Amino acid sequence: MNIQDTINVLRKELNDHNYRYYVLDDPIISDAEYDRLLRELQVLENEHPEYITADSPTQRVGARPLEAFGTIQHRIPMMSLANAMSVDEILNFHEQIMRRLGAERQIEYVVEPKLDGLAVELIYENGQFVSGSTRGDGTTGENITQNLKTIRGIPLSLRTESQPAPELLEVRGEVFIRKNNFKKLNNQREAAGEPVFANPRNAAAGSLRQLDSNITATRPLSFFCYQAGALEGVHFTSHMEFLSTLKDWGFPVNPEIKKVNNIDGAISCHKELETRRNVLPYEIDGSVIKVNDYALQEALGVRSRSPRWAIAGKFKAQQETTIIENIVLSVGRTGAVTPVAKLRPVKVGGVIVSNVTLHNQDEINRKDIRIDDTVLIQRAGDVIPQVVKVITEKRPLNSRPFQMTNKCPECGHEVHTPEGEAVARCQNLSCAAQVKRRIEHFVSKNAMDIDGLGEKLIDQLVEKKLVHSFDDLYRLVADQLAALDRMAEKSAANIILAIEKSKQTTFHRFIYALGIRNVGEHVSKVLEKAFDGDISAFMSANVEELEAIDEVGPVVADTIVKFWADDENVKVVNNCFNLGITLEKNINKTEQIFKDKTFVFTGSLESMTRKEAKEIVESLGGRASASVSTKTDYVIAGAGAGSKFKKAVELGVTILSEKEFQDMLK
């Protein structure tokens, strides 16, 4: 291809990407890749100026406005910024300024975070907000006045306590969404079955370009202003003076904006912003460095699409595209089996990324991710890389869809996805990937309560292959422990003693210690009661028997049955009994005076808290419920009892005072 053809291909490609980014809000390449293409074109055009055309993407400021909105002409074009991709390029920017200004002098700069949102212009006449627009193509923007009015940070009229309102004030700035609000918004959308936004920028852009401003009003949009447009009836001598007056007028100005005395100060600020980028509450993709003095800005002037007195110091990209070379399964410490994409390694934000979690099969299906797909990867605020989307346009014909198997990649045992959950889990007690965490839980205070077996010691026991599952704990001897790092003989003996002591336990502690999914302390106690402390009956119970137990639903019942269906689990538990674990029965039948009775507490109790009352009822075989129904046996009414009391009267449920309840306990 000759140079002219190459230029034409690049132009077409860039124009297409521009359209997708600005008009469709659906880019298929990262910003960094776009910048690289634009630079490639700039270099070629600089070398061959005879091929520059008026419609080249290098010659224009932005993109077309959406036709659905009316348009607003910007009195002064909304320029974009030249980019500095490195510190050297920032220094180069400064040198060019020095050259143009001639004399040696100190130049003050203002350094601002470059927000990743949507640039807008707000127009105020005599202190009143009259209209607002997007940047559009830099000359003409979309009229989004109604939508902008819904953003609380944008003043509808200026505060004029310290400075009168000018006849005309045009303020430019960025509408954006904070990281925490973005998460909330996406959670809400997910819960409502709506598609989630890929990033805060898309969410902000999508929200601002709603034709119905009622929808915009429900979106958590923020605004920071950073630039003047046309001004009448007011004069400023510096950018900092302008920003400070904006604050007085009631505009939000980013508190991170700093004035520095020279270019070294500006570079330090730029670097500092880059290191703090991930802890800021909003996404930024660089810094903007501006000459502070308006007279110097005037002297420096503007190029066709950007001012000479400002530059965007870009950070290392946090979004890149790459190829999914394979998808494998990985099992975590909690038994969660997750699909992980093996990527063609790519540098994102200065870090090489070669693996990215795909979370679960639902997520893979939702994003339609396949092996050999090209995907957009991002390291978001929380630094964990994620797949933003598949670039389906680049999908090869032989791309391979992925379906998770139901085998644990570590131990080969069957995995299950509990109903209502998205994540598949391996429940094998001896699964090597989970053994450390399982043992940490097994020895914990409310489980087997084995003192002295901390995380570090468990790590050593597992790594030295002394322990593969809990039963091995009961095979340990003091000499084995004493041979471990930082372990005195006395401590070793104490631990053996604690292990020995733990053998006398209860049904509910032991069941809780097993770490069966969804079987916490409370359910363990419920099961203890239901099976009367008989572990063999529990181990062989079927789904129907389990579901018949109050407080055991179908999900828990299914999880328990699948847990015991794994022979390895039965073996480990039987080993524990053969090694001396005994479950004492601590259920005193004569005390089960509330067996199968349901209580509802209402109003405030004087002699005990609601929680204590509930525990008492449960310890005596009863059940405490939050609402009154025909199944309620007793309502205990304290002072100020309200609607539950009324309902109990209506349904003819026995109502007792707190005193009468206490008499029953006696």
The site for ligand 5U1 (CB under 6 A) is made up of 79-81, 112, 114, 119, 226-227, 288, 290, 307, 310
Whether 114 is a known active-site residue: answer yes
Q: Nearer to ligand 5U1 by C-beta: 307 or 622?
A: 307
Please name every residue paired with 187 in a beta bridge, in sequence order, or none if there are none. Answer: none
Q: Name the 3-class secondary structure at 491.
A: helix
Q: Are 176 and 115 in contact (CB under 8 A)?
A: yes
* H, E, C per residue of 217-244: HCCCCEEEEEEEEEEECCCCCEHHHHHH
Cβ 485 to ligand 5U1, closest distance in Å? 54
99 touches 115 (CB < 8 A): no
Taking every pair of Cα atoms in the chain, the longest distance, rounded to a whole number of angstroms, is 102
User: Around 162, how many Cα atoms within 13 Å sit in the side-chain half-sphere?
Assistant: 7
Residue whose CB is less far from ligand 5U1, 112 or 293: 112
Nearer to ligand 5U1, 76 or 579 (CB): 76
Output the smallest distance, CB 163 to ligand 5U1, in A: 22
Supply 93's token pair: 């920017």
Both tokens assigned to 438: 């399982």
Amino acid sitting at position 219: R
Rank residues 79 and 552 by Cβ distance to ligand 5U1 and give the closer one: 79
Query: Least distance from C-beta 618 to ligand 5U1, angstroms?
Result: 59
Q: Which two tokens stand for residue 477?
A: 């001897």
* Three-class SS state of 425: strand
CA distance 534 to 55: 82
Determine contact, residues 108/291, Cβ cutoff 8 Å: yes
- From 12, 114, 436, 611, active-site residue: 114
Nearest approach, Cβ of residue 174 and ligand 5U1 (Å): 6
Minimum gap (Å) between residue 63 Cβ and ligand 5U1: 14
- Rounded to whole angstroms, the Cα distance separating 270 from 90 reads 10
**How big is the CA angle at 423 (ends 351 and 354), to the nearest 5 degrees?**
20
Residue placing its CB nearer to ligand 5U1 in the complex, 226 or 510: 226
CB of 44 to ligand 5U1, least distance (A): 25
Question: In the bound complex, what is the minimum distance in angstroms from residue 244's beta carbon to ligand 5U1?
Answer: 15
**Residue 359: left (phi > 0), alpha (psi -120 to 50), or beta?**
left
Residue 405: left (phi > 0), alpha (psi -120 to 50), or beta? Answer: beta
Tokens of residue 298, six digits: 């005037």
Residues involved in catalysis: 114
